């Protein structure tokens, strides 16, 4: 807990320093009180706060995540005197790749793929063999034969882009009600995806741009034989740990390499790859980040952003803080379990820091003044045109009302959402699964779901109970979940009162853990053999789920009805946005391929200046300055580097390119489409980039190609990888 407090205090200090740079004394802009069972709504005032009346929207507040559908050729020419050809964009698109949750790229004609170490953590666990600890010790395949295939991993390459806007908009407009419009749009999207997949043999998805102003069909070629080639130790890839995460200066070797193999089990031959520039970049150089940014909300209305500020982010932060505490405390007690749970903790810690930054950004009156100014200008443009005003003039007020309606159900719907990873215990999930099983067994075979038909029922029952349950962690998550329920309902839900039996959530969790049978494999098997007994069970979790099921479904239905109406208005807002601005501003990120431009540049922070580059000297300075601190310890092979290892080599650098989660693993390339770096993070000032981009301090943090070369060659002896990178192909 003390570590979490230190991180939060550090983050608050950074935010205060950030605010000082505006040279404005901030008034109290926002206070949030997480009330138990709160169902009151807020009447928002869409005006700039005192002292911020003259703040104006910036040219690139909506970012620079340009699509390959309509790349900003004229902007590149005017800004950088650079006019890339259609062939340039095609080569860039086909060399770029997408992993589950991350980005990547081909960096040799023999299918070598570059991405981040933190994008391969799951793969390291999967290919780890008995007696090994690859996350701690790293992995290097000295030969092709030693490269290890990662089960169930795939890599996607975007090979098809087609505009399908007219078909989807026509389907939407054919609906008579908001709900019908949304349904018809979804039906048309599914129809087109099936049609294109059948026609092309590709993985086809419709991508929504500008909240529905434009739609494109993206077709992906999927590679399924993916093998791990190299990954350094987690300690050096995540150097500085959670303290340094989302900060700069940084000293991380956050790089890893896969290789794609063809259907014959040979390294894939591809003509589309990024060549390697061993010298990297210098200050002021133009760079492009080509990757798949996950999601942004930059085109949300101010009322939608307020809903995130006051409801969504505070709720998520409460759960994430609880999960970080749970897994941190567990690993302190059980350090031998680090290999199994460290990645989980990294994920929750990373999300906590990110969502804290998003939330802080929405509480920043300077940034919100810019959003308000953009919205006012947009509305004024609409209202000054009678035709546009008639079509779109009421959208903002209607969306504001929907936020108030959503708020009435938000906490309760989430509290009764008992499935999922984040803050949801197995106790409730197992109870719900048992009830589903019993209800399915009441149906004739032909009406049951696929998993419950007689032909596969034995297999379903065999796999019903989890292979492994960590009771200690599950009990801690149950405590967190019961607190969430108590916050949402107070004393108004009888089923919850019965479950708690007058005890505080933590005490009740211990009592319930002692009473329940849902995590007892033998008892669960008995219930599966006698499904009628499930619905008559007196188990406290089964009773609770049964008693709240209809109520929860009713709440969810009401919430979904509001969201459907909101989606219909968001579609109209997208049309309005495109009618006014066209492609002069980029659409929100959708975890699809984008190209972002920027220059290598440091920035002012904390009363000083952050350099554009860091070197290995700085990494060793951290090691000696924080002697005894685990986060800045070095792997053994790094503690005494060979004489030829050049400490002055750049390891990380920053640029003004626009990225967000999902861009991890994106290559940074120069005008010649040569790799000069590898994106792995943003600085703390970049976190509000979820809803606004400000290149004054927003920075992409990347691994430098020179630093990768130096480490691969002199620390790891990975000469075959270095030779392949420099030559663009396998060197025998």
- In this prediction, residues 302-329 reach a mean pLDDT of 97
Query: Cα separation of 287 and 284, whole Å?
Result: 9
Give the chain's end-to-end CA distance (angstroms, integer): 53
Do 601 and 546 reside in the same domain of the chain?
no
In the prediction, which pLDDT does 682 show?
Answer: 96
**Confidence class of residue 31 from pLDDT cuts 50, 70 and 90?**
very low
User: Beta strands 275-276 and 674-682: pairing type?
Assistant: parallel
Whether residue 707 is found in the same domain as residue 617 = yes
Could you please report the per-residue DSSP string of 353-406? HHHHHHHHHHT-HHHHHHHHHHHHHHHHHHHTSHHHHHHHTTHHHHHHHHHHHH
What's the rounded Cα separation, in Å, for the pair 163 and 161?
7
- Which DSSP string corresponds to 678-729? EEEEE-GGGGGGGT---TTT--EEEEEHHHHHHIIIIIS--HHHHHHHHHTS
Q: What share of the chain is helix, strand, coil (3-state, %, to 5)?
A: 50, 15, 35
Cα–Cα dist 55/50, whole Å: 11
Q: What is the pLDDT of residue 28?
A: 21
Write out pLDDT tens, residues 370-422.
Answer: 999 999 999 999 999 999 999 999 999 999 999 999 999 999 999 999 987 67
- The whole-number pLDDT of residue 480 equals 97
What value, to the nearest 5°, has the Cα angle with vertex 556 and ends 550 and 560? 145
Residue 406 maps to a domain: no
Are 272 and 330 contained in the same domain? no
Residues 283 and 351 placed together within one structural domain of the fold:
no
Whether 478 is covered by a domain: the verdict is yes
Q: Is the confidence at residue 169, as pLDDT, over 50? A: yes
Asked if residue 606 and residue 509 are part of one domain, the reply reads no
Q: Do residue 134 and residue 54 come from a single domain? A: no
CA distance 323 to 327: 6
Output the pLDDT for position 44.
54
Instruction: Give Cα separations from 226 to 43, 155, 156, 231, 266 (angstroms).
Output: 53, 8, 11, 14, 11
Q: Which of the four pLDDT bands, split at 50, 70 and 90, describes residue 633? A: very high
Residue 194 to residues 174, 204, 317, 732, Cα–Cα distance (Å): 21, 8, 38, 44
Residue 131 lies in a domain: yes
Evaluate whether residue 515 is within a structural domain.
Answer: yes
pTM of the predicted structure, to 2 decimals: 0.85
Q: What does R_g of the chain's alpha carbons equal in angstroms?
A: 27
Mean pLDDT, the chain, integer: 92
Which of the four pLDDT bands, split at 50, 70 and 90, describes residue 476? very high
Cβ contact 309:363 at 8 Å: yes
Whether omega for the bond prior to residue 249 falls within 30 degrees of 0, making it cis, is yes
Can you state the angle between helices 471-489 and 313-333, rounded to 10 degrees? 150
The token pair at 90 is 């095609």
Residues 228 and 85 in one domain: yes
Boundary residue ending a domain (389, 404, 425): 389
In a domain? residue 401? no
Return the number of other C-beta atoms located less than 10 Å from residue 20's C-beta: 13
Q: What is the DSSP letter of 308?
A: I
Q: What is the mean pLDDT of residues 173-201?
A: 96
- Residue 168: inside a domain, yes or no? no
Which alpha helices (H) appear in 128-255, and where do they start and end? 134-137, 165-173, 178-200, 234-237, 241-244
Share of the chain above pLDDT 70, in %: 94
Q: What pLDDT does 623 receive?
A: 98
Q: How confident is the model at residue 638 (pLDDT cuts 50, 70, 90)?
A: very high
pLDDT at 29 over 70: no
Residue 620 region by backbone torsions, left for phi larger than 0, else alpha for psi between -120 and 50, else beta = alpha
Contact call for residues 81 and 219 (beta carbons, < 8 A): no
Q: What is the pLDDT of residue 524?
A: 97
pLDDT (0 to 100) of residue 195: 98
The answer on pLDDT for 40 being more than 80 is no
Q: 732 pLDDT band (50/70/90 cuts)?
A: confident
What local confidence, expressed as pLDDT, does residue 13 receive?
Answer: 34
Examine the fold and report which residue of 517, 536, 557 is the final residue of a domain before the chain moves on.
557
User: Which residues lie below 8 Å from residue 90, measured CB to CB, with a gap of 6+?
Assistant: none
Spatial separation of the C-alpha atoms in residues 690 and 553, rounded to whole Å? 31
Residues 238 and 290 in one domain: yes
Structure tokens belonging to residue 218:
């993206």
Structure tokens at 558: 């009401």
Instruction: Provide the pLDDT for residue 295.
Output: 94
Q: pLDDT above 90 covers what percent of the chain? A: 90
Q: Which of 374, 389, 404 is the last residue of a domain?
A: 389
CA triplet 472, 473, 475: central angle to 5 degrees? 65
Are residues 507 and 465 part of one domain?
yes
Examine the domain organization and report whether 55 and 70 are in the same domain. Answer: no
* pLDDT band of 339, cuts 50, 70, 90: confident
| pLDDT score, position 343 | 82
Does 33 score more than 60 pLDDT? Answer: no
* DSSP helix/strand/coil, 256: strand
276 bridge partner residues = 675
Q: Which of 405, 398, 396 is nearest to 560 (CA)?
A: 405
Which residues pair with residue 703 across a beta bridge? 652, 678
Domain count, the chain: 3
Domain of 357, in residue numbers:
2-59+302-389
Specify if 656 maps to a domain.
yes
In whole angstroms, what is the distance from residue 499 CA to residue 505 CA? Answer: 10
Same domain, 510 and 604: no
pLDDT in the model for residue 666: 98
Residues forming a β-bridge with 267: 261
Token duo for residue 383: 């209202």
pLDDT value at residue 10: 34
Residue-level pLDDT at 38? 38
pLDDT of residue 155: 98
Q: How far apart are CA 387 and CA 261, in angstroms?
A: 56
> Between helices 540-581 and 395-415, what is the axis angle to 10°?
160
Query: In the predicted model, is pLDDT for residue 442 greater than 90?
Result: yes
Cα–chain center distance at 646: 35
Residues in a beta bridge with 221: 157
As a whole number, mean pLDDT of residues 521-543 equals 97
The closest alpha carbon to 203, from 219, 191, 187, 215, belongs to 219
> Which candidate, 67, 60, 101, 103, places its Cα nearest to that of 298?
60
Q: What is the CATH number of the domain that holds 591?
A: 2.40.10.120
Q: Which residues pair with 139 in a beta bridge?
A: 231
The secondary structure of residue 267, as a DSSP letter, is B
Residue 201 covered by a domain:
no
Cross-strand partners of 259:
112, 227
**CA triplet 307, 301, 659: central angle to 5 degrees?**
90
pLDDT of residue 377: 96
Read off the pLDDT band of 246 (50, 70, 90).
very high
C-alpha dihedral sign at 197, 114, 679, 126: positive
For the chain, what's the residue count?
732
- 73 and 114 part of one domain: yes
């Amino acid at each position: 807990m003390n570590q979490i407090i230190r991180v939060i205090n550090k983050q608050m200090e950074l935010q205060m320093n950030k605010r000082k740079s505006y040279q404005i004394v901030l008034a109290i802009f926002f206070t949030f009180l997480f009330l138990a069972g709160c169902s009151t709504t807020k009447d928002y005032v869409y005006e700039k706060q005192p002292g911020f009346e003259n703040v104006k929207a910036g040219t690139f507040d909506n970012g620079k995540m340009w699509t390959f559908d309509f790349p900003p050729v004229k902007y590149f020419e005017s800004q950088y005197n650079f006019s890339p050809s259609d062939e340039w964009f095609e080569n860039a698109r086909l060399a770029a790749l997408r992993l589950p949750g991350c980005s990547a790229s081909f960096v040799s004609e023999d299918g070598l793929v570059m991405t981040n170490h933190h994008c391969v953590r799951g793969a390291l666990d999967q290919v780890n063999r008995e007696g090994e600890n690859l996350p701690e010790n790293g992995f290097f395949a000295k030969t092709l034969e030693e490269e290890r295939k990662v089960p169930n991993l795939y890599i996607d390459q975007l090979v098809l882009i087609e505009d399908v806007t007219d078909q989807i908009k026509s389907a939407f407009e054919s609906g008579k009600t908001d709900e019908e419009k949304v349904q018809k749009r979804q039906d048309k999207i599914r129809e087109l995806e099936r049609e294109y997949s059948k026609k092309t043999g590709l993985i086809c998805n419709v991508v929504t741009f500008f909240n529905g102003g434009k739609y494109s069909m993206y077709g992906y070629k999927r590679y399924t034989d993916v093998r791990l080639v190299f990954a350094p130790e987690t300690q050096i890839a995540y150097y500085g740990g959670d303290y340094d995460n989302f900060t700069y200066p940084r000293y991380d070797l956050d790089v890893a390499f896969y290789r794609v193999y063809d259907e014959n089990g040979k390294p894939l031959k591809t003509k589309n790859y990024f060549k390697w520039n061993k010298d990297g970049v210098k200050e002021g150089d133009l760079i492009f980040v080509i990757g798949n940014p996950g999601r942004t909300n930059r085109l949300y209305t101010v009322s939608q952003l307020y809903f995130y500020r006051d409801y969504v982010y505070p709720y998520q932060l409460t759960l994430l803080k609880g999960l970080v505490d749970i897994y941190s405390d567990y690993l302190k007690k059980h350090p031998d379990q680090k290999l199994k749970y460290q990645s989980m903790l990294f994920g929750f810690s990373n999300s906590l820091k990110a969502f804290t930054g998003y939330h802080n950004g929405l509480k920043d009156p300077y940034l919100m003044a810019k959003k308000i100014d953009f919205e006012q200008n947009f509305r004024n443009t609409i209202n000054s045109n009678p035709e546009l005003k008639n079509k779109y003039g009421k959208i903002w007020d209607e969306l504001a009302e929907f936020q108030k309606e959503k708020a009435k159900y938000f906490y309760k719907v989430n509290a009764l959402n008992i499935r999922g990873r984040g803050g949801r215990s197995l106790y409730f999930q197992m109870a719900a699964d048992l009830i589903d099983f019993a209800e399915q067994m009441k149906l004739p075979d032909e009406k049951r779901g696929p998993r419950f038909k007689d032909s596969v029922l034995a297999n379903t029952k065999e796999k019903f109970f989890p292979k492994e349950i960590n009771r200690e962690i599950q009990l801690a998550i149950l405590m967190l979940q019961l607190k969430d329920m108590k916050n949402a309902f107070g004393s108004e839900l009888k089923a919850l009162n019965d479950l708690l039996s007058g005890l505080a959530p933590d005490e009740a969790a211990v009592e319930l853990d002692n009473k329940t049978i849902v995590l007892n494999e033998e008892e669960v098997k008995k219930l599966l053999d006698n499904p009628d007994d499930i619905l008559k069970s007196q188990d406290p979790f089964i009773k609770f789920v049964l008693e709240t099921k209809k109520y929860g479904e009713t709440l969810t239905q009401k919430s979904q009805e509001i969201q459907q109406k909101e989606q219909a208005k968001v579609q109209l807002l997208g049309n309005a946005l495109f009618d006014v601005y066209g492609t002069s501003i980029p659409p929100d990120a959708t975890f699809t391929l984008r190209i972002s431009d920027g220059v290598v540049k440091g920035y002012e922070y904390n009363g000083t200046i952050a350099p554009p580059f860091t070197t290995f000297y700085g990494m060793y300075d951290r090691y000696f300055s924080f002697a005894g601190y685990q986060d800045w310890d070095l792997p053994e092979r790094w503690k005494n580097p060979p004489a030829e290892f050049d400490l002055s080599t750049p390891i990380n650098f920053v640029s003004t390119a626009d990225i967000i989660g999902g861009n991890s693993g994106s290559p940074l390339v120069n005008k010649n489409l040569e790799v000069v770096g590898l994106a792995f993070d943003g600085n703390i000032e970049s976190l509000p980039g979820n809803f606004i981009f400000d290149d004054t301090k927003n920075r992409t943090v990347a691994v430098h190609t020179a630093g990768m070369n130096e480490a691969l060659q002199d620390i790891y002896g990975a000469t075959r990888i270095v030779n392949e990178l420099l030559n663009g192909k396998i060197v025998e």
